[in-house]
Structures are given as structure tokens and as C-alpha cells.
């Protein structure tokens, strides 16, 4: 029983539905004629139950209800409508020919009616009233839509703001961490520099004194008569002096005050030349593996000092693997880009030598102190604590870097970053370092 008005003041999709409820067909038709001109969709129902069914099936904006109907009257229909949660705010206009007393009207309003129109209906008045309520309905819907849109936008903005805030917090934390790390590195570098300067000066004077002592002892060795006991004493004195000189050399290396003679060196060749010495130094039970790419570019270093450094690292690995293990020495080409976070190396091309052992490893506290001069975990007399300090000094003086990673009971990885050389290698004439100067190497 649906009827659409021919006059269309609004788009088809914008039209609202008005439900006309009356048991008398003639009255329904008359309402229909009156309201045809307002351009909305009119639906008719001839009983309260039919009206309720229509309501459930349609999105109705306004209901015109005849108060006097058989079975369920208009008031009872209004009660049913208002009790349904979906229709709490649906507009109701009562139309009545008989129950027009004030009390009846009052009851109608109490039941949630918007208006109470007496019959005979004045067409203009009914049209005007319906228009006002439809207008109100439209404005309310519009407001609801705007409200929903606004809420959605607020939700979106809040989410974006929350994301932005989280991003900011993350960035702030990152920056703080970076800054703390940089400060820590700076502090560590300054500390090492200060210790280096102090030890460097002491080692320098100490070295000069020892040179004088050793020089005189050597002269004395030539002049001393052939007395075995005196010669034995002199020999001990020379050995002590040499050990002292070696110590002074390590200190000088740590404080970067050695006289380096940097030349272009092929690291693969250098380690290959050292292999026999390394195998001997490592002793039985430690498997040595060397892996070098044939295309490895040369580095600009003092070859003897690098040999000393590698030997020191290998000896530490040996001491960390008393029950045997594996030592892998490898190298790779690396590039340090400008602005690379977390690295004190200047930008450029490097060769990274990596020495990895499967030894006892170090906890974080030991690792952090390992390069400090005189830091040792070895028993008294077993280590000077100058090995890694020296390696650190040699790497730094060569414009490179020493980096140590370690995990207790897993092993240690020592990296030596050395700057690549632009010239050809000069291997000819190089000699293997004087291992007698290194404590812990038994020369057979
Ligand atoms: N490969 C390694 N595995 C486990 N610990 C290591 C390793 N290398 C170094 N360390 C730790 O770092 C400390 C300092 O090493 P460093 O070479 O400077 O001195 P040292 O070996 O104790 O003495 P020296 O080198 O005079 O024999 C060591 O005592 C040890 O605790
Ligand atoms: Mg050592």
C-alpha cells in the first residue's frame, strides 16, 4: 500500500517516509491528498498492527495516527511504538474526530505525540505541521550525521596524534641512547688518551734508561773475563733488561708513541708467513684456520707491529682455550661511510681482520676493561695486562680500530680495522717479528 508523491522537492534518496494510520479508507485518502504536495513518500496502514509492521520494515520519519481505531486504538499503538528502542524519537501526530477534549490531548502528549490535530483537518495547517516536523527530522538526522563525522574525525586525529607522539618518544629515546653512547665512547677515548700520555712519557724515559743499561751490559759482556759465574749473572741482567725494554715497547705501543714505518702490506700473505709461528704459539689442541679472499686489497701499516698485534691476540685466544678449541683468522674488505653512527673510524676503505676463538669468553665488565693497560685476569706473573692495550695502540696509530665482542663460554671475536693502501704491497725484505720480545711465546 505504498504511494509516492508526484511532487519531488528533494532528491529521491533524500525523501523521508510518512506513515498514515487510519481504519477508514476515505480518511486515509484525504490525508494522502493533503500531503501529496510536500514531496515525501507516503505509506498507508489501516490498522495499528499493520502500522507497526510498516514501521519495522521502513525507516519512518513521522506517523499520523487516528486515535479511534477498532482492536488497538491510536494511544495503544503509540505505547507500542515508544516501547520499541528504535522508535523512541519517531515523530507522532494524533488525528482525532471524537477524542478532542483537553484530557485526551494531554494523554496523547504524554504518550510522546508531537501534536494533536482535531478533525475536520484544515489541510494547510496539517501540511504546515507535517512540514515542520519533517524539517525537524531532517535537521536532527543531519546533526547526527555531522556529529558522527566529527567524532570519526576526532578519532582519526587522536590516533594520528598518538602515532606522532609515539614516534616522537621513540626518536627522543633513540637520540638519548645515541648521545649516551657517544658520550660513553668519548669518555672512554679521553680516558685512554690520558692514560696513554702518562704511560707514554714514563715508558719513554724508562726505555732510554734501559737502553743505557743494556748498552753498558753489552760492553761489559765483551770485557768480562771468562768467569762462568760472572757471565751467568751478566746474562740474567741482560735478560731482565730486555724484558724491561719489551715492556717499555708495549707501553709505547699503547700510548701510540712508537715510530711506525707504514708500508703497503698484503694481510693474507703476512698471516700466511706467520702461520708456522702461530701454530707453534697456539700449541696442541687448537685448530688454526685462515680464510682470506684473493682479492683482498693491501693495507697501509707497519708490518712488524701488525704481526705483534696478531700474535698477542692469538696468545690471548690460546690462554682462553686451555682445553683446546678453534681459532679462525679471516679478513674482508669494508667501507666506512661518512655519518655512520656508532663508529669512531673516519670514512674510507678498510680491511677488517677478524680473529675468532671458541674460548671461555669475557663478561661485559671484563670486555670493557680488556684494552686498559695493566688490566689482566691472569694469575700474578702470568700476564702484564698490556697485550690488548698494545694492539689497541697499534690499531689507533695506524688510523684503524680494535673492536672486541665476547660472550662467556662461547668465545671472543677480535676485529682489527686497518686502512687500505693505494699503493702496491711491499712484502720483499719483510721479516717476521722478533717473537722473543713477546711474553708467553716459547721459541723452539
Ligand atoms: N680471547 C680472549 N678470551 C677471553 N678473555 C680474553 C681474551 N683476550 C683478552 N681477554 C681478557 O682480557 C684481559 C687483558 O688482555 P691483555 O692481552 O691485555 O692482557 P693479558 O693477556 O692478561 O696479559 P699479557 O697480554 O701481558 O699476557 C685478559 O687478562 C683476559 O681476561
Ligand atoms: Mg694478552
The bound ligand whose nearest atom lies closest to the alpha carbon of 441 is 1
Strand partners, 289: 328
Nearest atom within ligand 1 for CA of residue 375: 14
Query: At which residue does the C-alpha cell 627522543 appear?
Result: 172
Tally DSSP H helices, then E strands, for the chain. Answer: 10, 13
CATH architecture designation of domain 2-121 = 3-Layer(aba) Sandwich (3.40)
Convert the pLDDT of each residue in 252-272 to its tens digit: 877 777 778 889 999 999 999
- In the chain, where are the structural domains located? 2-121, 261-443
Say how many C-beta atoms besides its own lie within 10 A of residue 378's C-beta: 13
**What integer pLDDT is reported at residue 96 of this predicted model?**
85
**What integer pLDDT is reported at residue 10 of this predicted model?**
56
22 lines ligand 1 (CB under 6 A): no
Instruction: Using the mean position of ligand 1's atoms as its centre, give its distance from the Cα of residue 72 in Å.
Output: 100
CA-CA distance, 66 to 44, in Å (whole number)?
12
413 lines ligand 1 (CB under 6 A): no
Mutate to test the pocket of ligand 1, among 244, 253, 383, 435 (most ligand atoms within 8 A of CB): 383
Instruction: Using the mean position of ligand 1's atoms as its centre, give its distance from the Cα of residue 390 in Å.
Output: 11
Nearest Cα residue to 390 out of 242, 220, 243, 250: 250
Residues in the chain where the model's pLDDT stays below 70:
1-12, 99-100, 339-342, 423-444
Instruction: Using the mean position of ligand 1's atoms as its centre, give its distance from the Cα of residue 255 in Å.
Output: 18
118 lines ligand 1 (CB under 6 A): no
Mutate to test the pocket of ligand 1, among 310, 320, 370 (most ligand atoms within 8 A of CB): 370
Mutate to test the pocket of ligand 1, among 243, 310, 384, 385 (most ligand atoms within 8 A of CB): 385
- The DSSP H or E segment spanning 47 is none
**What integer pLDDT is reported at residue 24 of this predicted model?**
92
**What integer pLDDT is reported at residue 252 of this predicted model?**
83
74 to 31, 66, 145, 188: CA distances (angstroms): 16, 6, 31, 91
67 to 18, 21, 62, 88, 113: CA distances (angstroms): 17, 9, 15, 19, 11
Instruction: Using the mean position of ligand 2's atoms as its centre, give its distance from the Cα of residue 438 in Å.
Output: 10
393 lines ligand 1 (CB under 6 A): no
325 lines ligand 1 (CB under 6 A): no
**What integer pLDDT is reported at residue 47 of this predicted model?**
93
**What integer pLDDT is reported at residue 62 of this predicted model?**
94
CATH architecture designation of domain 261-443 = 2-Layer Sandwich (3.30)
Strand partners, 92: 63
407 lines ligand 1 (CB under 6 A): no
389 lines ligand 1 (CB under 6 A): yes
For 6: left if phi > 0, alpha if psi spans -120 to 50, otherwise beta; the answer is alpha
Convert the pLDDT of each residue in 327-349 to its tens digit: 999 999 999 887 666 677 889 99
411 to 59, 150, 310, 378: CA distances (angstroms): 76, 61, 17, 17
21 lines ligand 1 (CB under 6 A): no
400 to 37, 41, 163, 331: CA distances (angstroms): 93, 87, 42, 14
Q: Are 221 and 234 in contact (CB under 8 A)?
A: yes
Amino acid at each position: 500500500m505504498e504511494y509516492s508523491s508526484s511532487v519531488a522537492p528533494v532528491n529521491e534518496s533524500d525523501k523521508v517516509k510518512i506513515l498514515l494510520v487510519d481504519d477508514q479508507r476515505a480518511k486515509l485518502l484525504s490525508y494522502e491528498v493533503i500531503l501529496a504536495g510536500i514531496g515525501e513518500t507516503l505509506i498507508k496502514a489501516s490498522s495499528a498492527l499493520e502500522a507497526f509492521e510498516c514501521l519495522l520494515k521502513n525507516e519512518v520519519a513521522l506517523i499520523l495516527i487516528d486515535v479511534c481505531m477498532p482492536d488497538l486504538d491510536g494511544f495503544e499503538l503509540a505505547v507500542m511504538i515508544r516501547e520499541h528502542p528504535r522508535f523512541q524519537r519517531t515523530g507522532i501526530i494524533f488525528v482525532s474526530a471524537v477524542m478532542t477534549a483537553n484530557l485526551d490531548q494531554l494523554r496523547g502528549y504524554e504518550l510522546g505525540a508531537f501534536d494533536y490535530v482535531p478533525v475536520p483537518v484544515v489541510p494547510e495547517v496539517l501540511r504546515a505541521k507535517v512540514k515542520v516536523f519533517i524539517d525537524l527530522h531532517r535537521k536532527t538526522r543531519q546533526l547526527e550525521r555531522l556529529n558522527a563525522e566529527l567524532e570519526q574525525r576526532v578519532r582519526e586525529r587522536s590516533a594520528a596524534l598518538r602515532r606522532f607522539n609515539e614516534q616522537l618518544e621513540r626518536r627522543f629515546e633513540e637520540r638519548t641512547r645515541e648521545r649516551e653512547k657517544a658520550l660513553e665512547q668519548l669518555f672512554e677515548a679521553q680516558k685512554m688518551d690520558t692514560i696513554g700520555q702518562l704511560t707514554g712519557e714514563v715508558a719513554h724515559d724508562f726505555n732510554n734508561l734501559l737502553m743505557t743499561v743494556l748498552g753498558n751490559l753489552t760492553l761489559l759482556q765483551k770485557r768480562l773475563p771468562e768467569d762462568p759465574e760472572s757471565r751467568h749473572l751478566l746474562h740474567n741482567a741482560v735478560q731482565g733488561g730486555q724484558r724491561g725494554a719489551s715492556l717499555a715497547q708495549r707501553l709505547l705501543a699503547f700510548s701510540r708513541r712508537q715510530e711506525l714505518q707504514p708500508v703497503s702490506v698484503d694481510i693474507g700473505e703476512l698471516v700466511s708467513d706467520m702461520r708456522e709461528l702461530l701454530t707453534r704459539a697456539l700449541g696442541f689442541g687448537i685448530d688454526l684456520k685462515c680464510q682470506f679472499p684473493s682479492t683482498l686489497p693491501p693495507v697501509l701499516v707497519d708490518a712488524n707491529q701488525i704481526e705483534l698485534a696478531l700474535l698477542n691476540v692469538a696468545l690471548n685466544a690460546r690462554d682462553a682455550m686451555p682445553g683446546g678449541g678453534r681459532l679462525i683468522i679471516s679478513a674482508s674488505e669494508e667501507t666506512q661511510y661518512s655519518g655512520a653512527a656508532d663508529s669512531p673510524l673516519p670514512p674510507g676503505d678498510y680491511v677488517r681482520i677478524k680473529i675468532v676463538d671458541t674460548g671461555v669468553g669475557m663478561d661485559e665488565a671484563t670486555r670493557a676493561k680488556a684494552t686498559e693497560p695493566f688490566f689482566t685476569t691472569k694469575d700474578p706473573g702470568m700476564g702484564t695486562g698490556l697485550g690488548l692495550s698494545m694492539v689497541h695502540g697499534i690499531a689507533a696509530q695506524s688510523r684503524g680500530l680494535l673492536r672486541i665482542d665476547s660472550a662467556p663460554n662461547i668465545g671472543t671475536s677480535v676485529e682489527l680495522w686497518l686502512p687500505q693502501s693505494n699503493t702496491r704491497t711491499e712484502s720483499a725484505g719483510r721479516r717476521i717479528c722478533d717473537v722473543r720480545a713477546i711474553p708467553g711465546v716459547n721459541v723452539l
